[in-house]
Copies of this chain bind each other. A is one copy, B any other.
Amino acid sequence: MTERSLDALIEALRRLPGVGVKSAQRMAFHLLQHDREGARRLAVALQAASEGIRHCERCHTFTEAAVCSTCLDGSRDARQLLVVETPADQAALERTGSYRGLYFVLMGRLRPLDGIGIADIGIQALLERAADGVVQEVILATGFTAEGEATAHVLAQALKAQGLSVTRLARGVPAGSELEYVDLSTLAHALSDRH
């Protein structure tokens, strides 16, 4: 069983994040055995997305137009700019239904160990975006990981130097939690940030 187009498919599937050689084999066999329609549909979707999707000129999220529909939405509050790491984070915040301002998507975070520095996460573009004269508050919603916190710290310094008001998502006890099962660091933050 050394078929070139099968090997090429397995090799191409392995480039997906989190997919090793066993998973890639399983995916290839599944598609060929049970879901050729799915294989064709995925091929078309990949082609369309890799040709059609670019970055919004204003917020850097993925979009098919020059400016994404969120940035064009006149009903949103342009005085608030919320900074997230990824479009997935943006989608999660949108699902809460409790934010009506605009976004800026870093498309990454500081990862000094992987050589991802300040210039790589579009901090300059964010500073220019935030300096449009309309934005009054920049809400930092990078992750509460070491890298996300470091990113927030660096961004906060740069934004405050421009005279902008900078806030950070609250840390605290997750909804539905019993206190005894919450980790100590979260509990300590919830205590110090009590209101």
Say yes or no for A195: interface residue by CB 8 A criterion. no
Known: A1-B61, A3-B64. A49 touches B28 (CB 8 A): yes
Chain B residue numbers with a CB within 8 Å of A8 are 45, 48-49
Are B33 and A12 touching (Cβ within 8 A)? no
Say yes or no for A87: interface residue by CB 8 A criterion. yes
Are A2 and B69 touching (Cβ within 8 A)? yes
Say yes or no for A153: interface residue by CB 8 A criterion. no
Q: Which size class do A's interface residues fall under?
A: 35 or more
Known: A5-B52, A31-B16. A42 touches B46 (CB 8 A): yes
Say yes or no for A26: interface residue by CB 8 A criterion. yes
Q: Which of A88-96, A133-141, A142-150 contacts B (4 or more CB under 8 A)?
A: A88-96
Are A1 and B42 touching (Cβ within 8 A)? no
Say yes or no for A18: interface residue by CB 8 A criterion. yes
Considering the complex, which residues of chain A in the window 37-84 have a beta carbon less than 8 Å from any beta carbon of chain B?
38-50, 52-53, 61-64, 68-70
Say yes or no for A29: interface residue by CB 8 A criterion. yes
A11 to B94, CA, bound (A): 19
In the A-B complex, the 6 residue pairs with the closest CB atoms: A43-B46, A12-B45, A15-B38, A12-B42, A39-B50, A9-B49
